[in-house]
């Protein structure tokens, strides 16, 4: 697998998508679906199409949040979230990004997460380290929960009992942050801005790029399927 050229292709695609989302930042946005806590806007689809066009030359399958595609244990695929943190983008909050991963089965070989609002591009490829813009990043070395920051999201469809347990488990951390972007939460663990990211009920495209980033930055990425396509994830600095 050509990691160098594919990483370059993912960065170019993420930057182009970022330009497009910046251009449209202050425009009225058309909502396509509002279901439970999820929101999908027309720009999600337009942005995924733009990324698909950019990645076409790599001749690799594409699996994206908006248009689906192929993902399986014996296929190499791009995994694309055109806007992670759509609700933030919709309301003008800058915690949102583009997330592009290259997956070989369930192994994340390349991860690119681009916060176009702050022009921060997090990128990693297997065996070559993780970077924020051009600076190498590492996870934190905090090993005491009472000194550590947890990033998470409120569980979407859980029973009252498990919501109570979720709240109880929060109490042990020094700080809790809910950014509304799984991908950025992963990138922040990789760059030592926080120490642990845990969430239940998210999709592969939300965290696929984060796996490579966190692992290459020296951390640990654990995830398991909890239903057809939703995952429970725990990404950490490896010391907690
Ligand atoms: C969402 C974000 C959010 C998480 C949601 C995701 P989207 O992704 O990652 O942090 O809590 O479960 O759906 O829909 O904005 O791509």
CATH number, domain with residue 215: 3.40.190.80
In this structure, are 152 and 83 located in the same domain?
Answer: no
Going by CA atoms, what residue is nearest to atom 13 of ligand 1? 202
In this structure, are 107 and 204 located in the same domain?
Answer: no
* CA–centroid distance, residue 128 to ligand 1 (Å): 28
In this structure, are 14 and 110 located in the same domain?
Answer: yes
What's the helix, strand, coil split of the chain in %, to 5?
35, 35, 35
Residue 74 is part of which domain span?
Answer: 3-136
pLDDT score for 161: 86
* Nearest ligand 1 atom to alpha carbon 88: 15
Ligand 1 binding pocket mutation candidate from 80, 182, 197 (most atoms within 8 A of CB)? 182
CA distance 184 to 59: 27
In this structure, are 132 and 40 located in the same domain?
Answer: yes
Rounded to 10 degrees, what is the CA torsion of 157, 37, 80, 235?
A: -50
pLDDT score for 157: 65
pLDDT score for 155: 82
In this structure, are 117 and 164 located in the same domain?
Answer: no
In this structure, are 112 and 22 located in the same domain?
Answer: yes
* Nearest ligand 1 atom to alpha carbon 206: 9
pLDDT score for 165: 87
Ligand 1 binding pocket mutation candidate from 33, 34, 85 (most atoms within 8 A of CB)? 85
Answer for the pair 36, 154: CB distance below 8 angstroms, yes or no.
no
Rounded to 10 degrees, what is the CA torsion of 227, 111, 154, 198?
A: 80
In this structure, are 157 and 231 located in the same domain?
Answer: yes
pLDDT score for 71: 85
pLDDT score for 15: 98
Q: Which residues pair with 123 in a beta bridge?
A: 112, 131
Q: How far is CA 6 from the centre of its chain?
A: 18
pTM across the whole model: 0.96
Which residues of the chain fall short of a pLDDT of 50?
A: none
- Looking at the structure of the chain, the number of domains it has is 2
pLDDT score for 162: 83
């Amino acid at each position: 697998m050509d990691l160098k050229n594919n990483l370059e292709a993912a960065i170019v695609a993420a930057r182009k998508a970022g330009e497009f989302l910046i251009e449209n930042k202050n425009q009225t946005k058309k909502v396509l679906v509002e279901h439970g806590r999820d929101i999908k806007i027309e720009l999600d689809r337009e942005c995924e199409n733009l990324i698909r066009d950019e990645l076409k030359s790599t001749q690799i399958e594409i699996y994206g949040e908006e248009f689906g595609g192929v993902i399986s244990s014996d296929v190499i695929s791009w995994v694309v979230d055109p806007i992670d943190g759509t609700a933030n983008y919709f309301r003008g909050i800058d915690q949102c990004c583009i997330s592009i991963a290259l997956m070989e089965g369930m192994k994340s070989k390349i991860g690119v997460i681009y916060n176009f609002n702050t022009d921060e591009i997090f990128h990693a490829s297997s065996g070559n380290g993780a970077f924020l813009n051009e600076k190498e990043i590492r996870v934190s070395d905090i090993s005491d929960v009472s000194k550590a920051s947890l990033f998470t999201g409120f569980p979407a469809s859980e029973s009252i009992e498990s919501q109570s347990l979720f709240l109880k488990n929060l109490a042990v951390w020094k700080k809790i942050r809910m950014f509304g972007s799984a991908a950025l939460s992963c990138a922040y663990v990789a760059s030592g801005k926080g120490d642990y990211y845990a969430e239940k009920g998210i999709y592969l495209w939300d965290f696929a790029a984060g796996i490579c980033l966190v692992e290459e930055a020296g951390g640990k990425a654990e995830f398991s399927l909890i239903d057809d396509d939703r995952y429970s994830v725990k990404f950490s600095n490896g010391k907690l």
